[in-house]
């Protein structure tokens, strides 16, 4: 086909992918072409704007390395990560809601006994975290795996500061599905905004902040792994999280306490906060369980 014009080019581009051997690939390619062409027709970019767009995507790619994934950050900041999360986690009522994974999880996790302090001697307000893990049936999930990670009281993750891991760890729930540990209270923080995504946010007139939160990944046999955060009630960024990750059910009070005996029996000689959250995991259907046990 020759002599394509601004109307006929879309039909021709669609026809070029119609023989894709994989039907899902065909569906995705067709949708990509249709939506991209609609986008271009809507905005009618100048040649210079098109080049600026290509330059932006090039810088996003160039910013990526083993420690920085600017494309995921772009997806986060455009609301795409949360949309994908929502589509993939249409959970039954009563199940803990999910939210974005984020870039600061570290695979090489360290396991701690219940009650440990994962902040060791870091500055900040001590924070007691307690919780339970149960199934939608109400049954406690004994020995559930709980991974936790969060920022320090200035909004920095350990991995942004150096090689020393802190404010992260893995715990095993006890025989009633309970867990507890100590750390320091985190703070709201900006997502990494020294790259093209930060430039985009500025150009869009947006701030780069996420509200104060603690990340959790909770796994138990026969259940879907939960990736979520618990957010601090009262944070100024709850309604404008740059990555659109806040859900009401995940917001809770980080209760301020004066020095004294904490809920785990520890005697505190200074003020601290206590955050409690009960996680509920969705049971996998028996057929999926059989597959995953193989």
Interface contacts to Fe ion, rule CB under 5 A: 102
Q: Is 191 in the site for ligand BEZ (CB under 6 A)?
A: yes
Q: Is 102 in the site for ligand BEZ (CB under 6 A)?
A: yes
Q: Is 243 in the site for ligand BEZ (CB under 6 A)?
A: yes
In whole angstroms, how close is the CB of 268 to ligand BEZ at the nearest point? 28
Q: Is 112 in the site for ligand BEZ (CB under 6 A)?
A: no
Q: Residue of minimal CB distance from Fe ion?
A: 102
- Between 54 and 84, CB nearer to ligand BEZ: 84
- Pick what 140 binds: Fe ion, ligand BEZ, none; C-beta below 5 to 8 Å, kind-dependent: none
- Between 51 and 233, CB nearer to Fe ion: 233
Restricting to residues 200-219, which ones interact with ligand BEZ according to CB under 6 A? 210
Number of residues forming the site for ligand BEZ (CB under 6 A): 9
Q: Is 103 in the site for ligand BEZ (CB under 6 A)?
A: yes
Question: Which part of the chain contacts ligand BEZ (CB under 6 A), choosing from 56-64, 98-106, 139-147, 160-168?
Answer: 98-106
- Pick what 118 binds: Fe ion, ligand BEZ, none; C-beta below 5 to 8 Å, kind-dependent: none
Q: Which residues pair with 223 in a beta bridge?
A: 283
In whole angstroms, how close is the CB of 73 to Fe ion at the nearest point? 12
- Between 126 and 245, CB nearer to ligand BEZ: 245
SS3 per-residue string spanning the chain? CCCCCCCHHHHHHHHHCCCCCCHHHHHHHHHHHHHHHHHHHHHCCCHHHHHHHHHHHHHHHHHCECCECHHHHHHHHCCHHHHHHHHHCCCCCCCCCCCCCCCCCCCCCCECCCCCECCCCCCCCEEEEEEEEEECCCCECCCCEEEEEECCCCCCCHHHCCCCCCCEEEEECCCCCEEEEEEECCCCEECCCCCHHHHHHHHCCCCCEECCEEEEEEECCCECCEEEEEEECCCCCCCCCCCCCCCHHHEECCEEECCEECCCCCEECCCEEEEEEEEEECECCHHHHHHHHC
Give which of 251, 99, 114 is closest to 169, Cα–Cα.
114
**Quick one: which of 70, 76, 147, 158 contacts ligand BEZ (CB under 6 A)?**
76
In whole angstroms, how close is the CB of 213 to Fe ion at the nearest point? 6
Residues in touch with ligand BEZ (CB under 6 A): 73, 76, 100, 102-104, 191, 210, 243
């Amino acid at each position: 086909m020759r002599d394509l014009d601004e109307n006929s080019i879309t039909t021709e581009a669609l026809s070029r992918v119609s023989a894709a051997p994989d039907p899902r690939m065909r569906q995705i390619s067709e949708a990509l072409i249709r939506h991209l062409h609609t986008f271009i027709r809507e905005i009618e970019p100048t040649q210079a704007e098109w080049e600026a767009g290509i330059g932006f995507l090039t810088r996003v790619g160039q910013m990526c390395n083993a420690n920085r994934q600017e494309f995921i950050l772009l997806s986060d900041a455009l609301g795409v990560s949360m949309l994908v999360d929502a589509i993939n986690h249409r959970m039954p009522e009563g199940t803990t809601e999910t939210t974005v994974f984020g870039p600061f999880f570290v695979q090489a996790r360290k396991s701690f006994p219940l009650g440990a302090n994962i902040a060791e001697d870091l500055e900040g307000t001590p924070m007691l975290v307690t919780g339970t893990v149960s199934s939608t049936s109400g049954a406690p999930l004994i020995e559930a795996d709980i991974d936790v990670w969060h920022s320090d009281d200035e909004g920095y993750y350990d991995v942004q500061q150096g090689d020393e891991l802190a404010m992260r760890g893995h715990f095993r729930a006890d025989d009633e599905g309970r867990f507890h540990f100590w750390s320091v209270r985190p703070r709201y923080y900006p997502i990494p905004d020294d790259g093209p995504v930060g430039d985009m946010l500025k150009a869009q007139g947006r701030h780069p902040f996420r509200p104060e939160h603690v990340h959790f990944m909770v796994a138990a046999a026969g259940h879907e792994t939960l990736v979520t955060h618990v957010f601090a009630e009262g944070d100024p960024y709850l309604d404008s999280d740059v990555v659109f990750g806040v859900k009401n059910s995940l917001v809770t009070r980080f209760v301020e306490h004066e020095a004294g005996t904490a809920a785990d029996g520890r005697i505190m000689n200074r003020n601290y906060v206590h955050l409690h959250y009960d996680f509920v995991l969705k049971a996998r259907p028996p057929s999926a369980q059989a597959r995953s046990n193989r």
